């Protein structure tokens, strides 16, 4: 399938090159430099498109990458669908499209819930490998991370029970289990924010020491790490705002977000996740 896409892209760039060359010839303004320029432009656009397709393929081949793409499309559909469906002056076709996008978003969310049925073992393996964080330099970061891992580990079975109750696989009330999972998710996000703030403070101290010592490479590396932690804080805060929205009514702004705002917060978090994943892959390469 991907080879077909690349082949079609090559044909399209080649056709574009031929059209531009024919236009120049018809105007009798063609020069050898123009032909070379058009040829190189077509080759460059084809190479860029091929690299983009290959990057997308690599992203979709991994579970983590596919989940982030599904998450981004899910919240993006909710954002656009919420905007279209809330406009009073929108025509009937736009409102129908908005409702369809909201239904599509709900199906993608359900898809991610089902896929998370198989995440318990990987989370348990990570928690076991981290242990009590013996490799961490700071005790605050260590204990926040340990509690965060516990919250993440408990989140999965609560969500599984809630999903099974909704699917009528077990006889249980799903409401309280969805509440438990939302509370655990929100707690994990809050702990993640606290951890990132603590890491930022530690990095700032290291940056001051590097400034006195004059270490240029370390200075650049610390700035990159600080930007990553800042992005993590923004991402977690966006998700935390949605987690509070899904709490029982009466708690802060629970239940007050319109669909488009939920989609906006989720899209911001998802795009940041894709950026961080891309940056991590680049660093590892």
Query: Is there a single domain that holds both residue 21 and residue 147?
Result: no
Same domain, 126 and 222: yes
Kindly indicate the confidence band of residue 220, based on its pLDDT and cuts at 50, 70 and 90.
Answer: confident
Q: Which domain holds residue 24?
A: 1-61
Angle, vertex CA 182, rays to CA 177 and CA 187, nearest 5: 125
| pLDDT attached to residue 7 | 40
Q: Tell me, what's the pLDDT at 129?
A: 95
On whether both 53 and 125 belong to a single domain, the answer is no
Angle between helix axes 216-245 and 174-213 (nearest 10 degrees) is 160
pLDDT > 70: what percent of the chain?
Answer: 81
What's the rounded Cα separation, in Å, for the pair 131 and 168? Answer: 36
Cβ–Cβ < 8 Å for 239, 189: yes
- Same domain? For 42 and 131 the reply is no
Residue 283 pLDDT: 60
Tokens of 154: 């408990």
Q: Using DSSP, state whether 159 is helix, strand or coil.
A: helix
Other Cβ atoms less than 10 A from the Cβ of 171: the count is: 7
pLDDT at residue number 2? 39
Asked whether residue 90 is domain-assigned, the answer is no
| Kind plus residue range of the DSSP H or E element containing 126 | helix 120-130
Residue 229: inside a domain, yes or no?
yes
Q: CA–CA separation, 105 vs 95, rounded Å?
A: 15
Q: What is the DSSP letter of 171?
A: S
Q: 135: which 2 tokens?
A: 């490799």
One domain for residues 55 and 134: no
285 three-class SS: coil
* Residue 43: predicted pLDDT: 72
The reported pLDDT for the residue numbered 176 is 96
What is the rounded average pLDDT of the residues 246-269?
A: 96
Give dist(CA 149, CA 159) in Å, integer: 16
Q: What angle do CA 103, 104, 106 make, to 5 degrees?
A: 65
Q: Among 15-29, 150-164, 193-207, where is mean pLDDT lowest?
A: 15-29
Does position 28 have pLDDT exceeding 60, yes or no? no
Residue 10 confidence (pLDDT) above 50: no
- Indicate if 48 and 132 belong to the same structural domain: no
For residue 45, what pLDDT is reported? 76
**Percent of the chain at pLDDT exceeding 90:** 62
Residue 48 pLDDT more than 70?
A: yes
**Does residue 285 lie within any of the structural domains?**
no
Does 38 reside within a domain? yes
Domain finish residue from 61, 87, 108: 61
pLDDT computed for residue 87 by the predictor = 73
Establish if 70 belongs to a structural domain. no
Number of domains in the chain: 2
Do residues 127 and 246 both lie within one domain? yes
Q: What is the largest CA-CA distance in the chain?
A: 80
List the one residue out of 114, 82, 112, 120 whose CA is nearest residue 98.
Answer: 82
Q: Which residue pairs from 152-155 have beta carbons closer than 8 angstroms and sit at least 24 positions apart in sequence?
A: 152/123, 152/127, 152/184, 152/188, 153/120, 153/123, 153/124, 153/127, 154/184, 155/181, 155/184, 155/185, 155/188
Query: Could you give the CA distance from residue 71 to residue 77 in angstroms, rounded to a whole number?
Result: 10
Structure token digits, residue 244: 């509070």
**Can you tell me the mean pLDDT for 57-62?**
87
Instruction: State the residue for tokens 């077509």.
Output: 42
Q: Among 107, 114, 103, which residue's Cα sits nearest to residue 164?
A: 114
| Integer Cα distance of 183 and 114 in angstroms | 20
Q: Residue 8: pLDDT band by 50, 70, 90 thresholds?
A: very low
Residue 94 falls within a domain, yes or no?
Answer: no
The pLDDT, as a whole number, for residue 30 is 46
φ, ψ for residue 169 (rounded to 5)?
-85, -25
Would 80 be classed as within a structural domain?
no
For 23, the token pair is 């236009």
For residue 107, give the DSSP letter: H
For the segment 90-146, what is each residue's pLDDT rounded down to a tens digit?
A: 688 888 999 999 999 999 999 999 999 999 999 999 999 999 998 888 999 999 999
Q: CA of 265: how far to CAs of 106, 110, 261, 271, in Å? A: 16, 18, 6, 10
pLDDT at 177 exceeding the cut of 50: yes
Residue 134 in domain: yes
């Amino acid at each position: 399938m991907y080879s077909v896409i690349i082949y079609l892209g090559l044909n399209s760039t080649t056709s574009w090159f031929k059209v531009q060359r024919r236009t120049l010839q018809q105007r009798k303004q063609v020069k050898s430099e123009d032909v070379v320029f058009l040829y190189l432009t077509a080759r460059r656009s084809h190479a860029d498109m091929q690299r983009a397709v290959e990057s997308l393929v690599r992203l979709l081949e991994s579970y983590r990458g596919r989940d982030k793409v599904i998450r981004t499309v899910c919240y993006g559909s909710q954002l656009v669908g919420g905007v279209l469906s809330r406009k009073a002056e929108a025509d009937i076709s736009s409102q129908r499209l908005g409702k369809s996008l909201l239904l599509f978003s709900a199906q993608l969310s359900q898809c991610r819930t089902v896929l998370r049925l198989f995440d318990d073992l990987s989370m348990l393996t990570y928690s076991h490998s981290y242990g009590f964080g013996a490799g961490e330099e700071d005790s605050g970061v260590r204990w926040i991370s340990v509690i965060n891992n516990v919250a993440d580990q408990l989140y999965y079975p609560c969500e599984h029970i809630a999903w099974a109750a909704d699917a009528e696989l077990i006889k249980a009330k799903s409401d309280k289990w969805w509440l438990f999972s939302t509370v655990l998710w929100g707690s994990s996000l809050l702990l993640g924010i606290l951890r990132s703030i603590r890491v930022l403070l530690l990095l700032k101290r290291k940056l001051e020491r590097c400034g006195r010592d004059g270490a240029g490479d370390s200075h650049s590396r610390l700035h990159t790490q600080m930007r990553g932690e800042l992005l993590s804080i923004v991402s977690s805060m966006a998700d935390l705002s949605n987690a509070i929205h899904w709490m029982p009514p009466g708690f802060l702004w629970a239940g007050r977000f319109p669909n488009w705002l939920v989609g906006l917060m989720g899209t911001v978090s998802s795009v940041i996740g894709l950026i961080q994943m891309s940056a991590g892959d680049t660093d590892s390469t």
